Structure 1
Amino acid sequence: MALLLSRAQAMRKCGNCGPNPVPYPLSTGPECGDPWYKIRCTAGILWFDALAGSSYAIRSIDPFTRRIITRPATLAPKMCVSTDFRSEGMHLNETLPFSVASGNTVFLFNCTAHAPSMNCSPSSACHSYIKEHADFSVCGAAGAGPCCEYRSGGARKDFAIRLHGGECTAYESFVDFNGTVATVGKRWPESGVGIEWVAPQEPVCKASIDCKELLNSKCGVGPSGGVQRCFCNAGFGWDPINGSCQPQTQTHNTTCTGHGKDSHCKVRKKKKMLVPVVVSIGGIVFVLAITGVIFYKKHNQAKRKAKEAKRNKRKEVSSRKMVEEKLMDVVDPLLKEGACDLELETMKSLGYLAVSCLDDQRQKRPSMKEVADEIENLIKVVKGQVSKS
């Protein structure tokens, strides 16, 4: 419970352990780091404490990948037995934010049974390792069980480098080992067990005073509820690497956090909501602009066609009058004598229809149906006039 209610002042970064820096959130004491991420500093050496009293020296720490590399347990003198055999290998506390990282290649020695997930074939690299390392030659001596290998990682988190219930007695581990030369003139890399940690959340608080060590934050409940934490103010984002509230412009990769009306999440959410709105409005304006241009062009084309049709109609009327006048010049004078206006107009229309049928341009000639309809109309007009008289 004391760990759960750690004050914000525990966010202060711990000092070096000898020459070794201790990055946040790792903690070597109650006054620095996050107590959930406890490691131990003894005589200038960092140690990672596991279950059953086993401890492992820390070889390196990378705060950006959130990975600790520890040195594996050594062999007992002149025996193919690891010094942590009593705990069946390295076992981590599953209630803490640490787990075995993926990518560890683990050699198991002096095994009495083969687990399905292990490679115990003669092609396993563990055989070469025994031959090339004098301290492990005891694991290849007469009477020793076979060696096997497996790789950590998968769908489930690992919390142990197991000796498989006592079926094997010793192990060796390499981080990201691919079986090739690690460095020039060296086949095998330095042994190690990769352990990773979960990115820390904002520190837990009970009152505003608990957040005084975390600048630009205040105590409150997050959007998802739960315990109160020191959430960063609007315009700032939680930086899990440095354990501080950084200006948003400097924390592009941090997780959106906050609470209440000043929530960093809400600020970012509003910005995200503006993007589709701006894009949508821009798209509508673009479509309207294109539609306007098309309508303008269509409208101008229609106006030009109307003017052209009007001019053609005038030309057609003028041309028709000229043709009709010329046709009347060749009509027998005897037919024109005593003819009424209707008869003269009928003569002109029939003459023009005949000339149209002889036009040089085929597309201007009337169809047979159009000719028949025109003659029928003329007959109706003449008959109607005669019946009236």
Structure 2
Amino acid sequence: MFSILRKPRAFLPKVIAGLSTLWLAACDPVGMQAPTTGTNTGTTVPVALLVPSGSGNAGDEVLARALKQAADLAISDLDGVKIDLRVYNTGGNPQLAAQAATKAVDEGAKIILGPVYAASANAVGLAVANRGVNVLAFSNNTEIAGGNVFVLGPTFPNTANRLVSYASRQGKRRILIAHEDTTAGQAGANAIATAISRSGGTLAGKAPYPFSQDGVVRAAPGIAAQAKSGTVDAIFMTADTAGALPLLTQLLPEQGVDPQTVKFVGLTRWDIPPATLALPGVQGGWFALPDPNLNQQYQSRYQAAFGEAPHPISGLAYDGIAAIGALVKSGHANALSREALTQGAGFVGVNGIFRLRGDGTNERGLAVAEVRNNAVVVIDPAPRSFGGAGF
């Protein structure tokens, strides 16, 4: 349970150094486009799944198992498509990941699903770039997207576009960005600023702060002063629940910011862990999340199949298999080509609709939620096709 902090103390324990466990400092982006080899869609299609087993980290082992189970669940749902899923361990290491990818392609893999971490995904893309094989990575780091690498994870630009678009329609057009002075915080702030420009809104300013409790405490009065200037309709925060969010949403109201007038908006999930929803400072705040109904169905099915709750990112493995299955079912020889993967209609996964973009990033149909009385209330449903709300 998060506590409401009344005075500075050691910053929240086990603070995540960034906004997501999947965000790592990017290596050189994969910029080359691989030639496309044909896929015999009438036979079993070999698919490589790269998981972080072997790193010595217990969390990586849990994640690896969850990704494999989610992929198996997706395969069982395919109608008339046969997938030969081959699992390769990366040890959470870029060099080992590249070696595993090379081995997978040598053994006949037509497409690679994974790995998780950005640096490893980048290394994998480089290793197989000239082999005609595309990579559907579980990372959310857009810096490594491009060429033969596509990221499946929820990205900052996609979330920012959804929320800024909704905020603008509600009259919250003058937006102040409050962000950590970290690589991920700056990337999040840039995504929000781009979304504001795209929506025709107004960037009311940027308020960076050091990624420490003392840094947040010292920065809060200045952020509050900007928010109370009369030129701000909303504060868009990059902070997550494991870092500065609890403290920031406490201190700003204490400094006189009225969340009823200046809306608090979050780039990250405010419902993970659920205890965050009980914080007074997040009440009335907005954030984006995948289609709750579809996600709940996935969680129930996964629990019934494997006797445990799914890992939060395991659904990306399901989505990857769902996309592969849909394309293979089309019967085209180039079913797993770059052109096929980026077809505009997109795909349906456990978190709703999604599509892959030509630059290697993705677009996902997200719902907008508000925290009310310690609970999540969807105030703008996730679209069920592209071209709807938020897109």
TM bracket, shorter-chain basis: under 0.3
Relative contact order, higher structure (CA 8 A, sep 6+): 2
**Larger-Rg structure:** 1
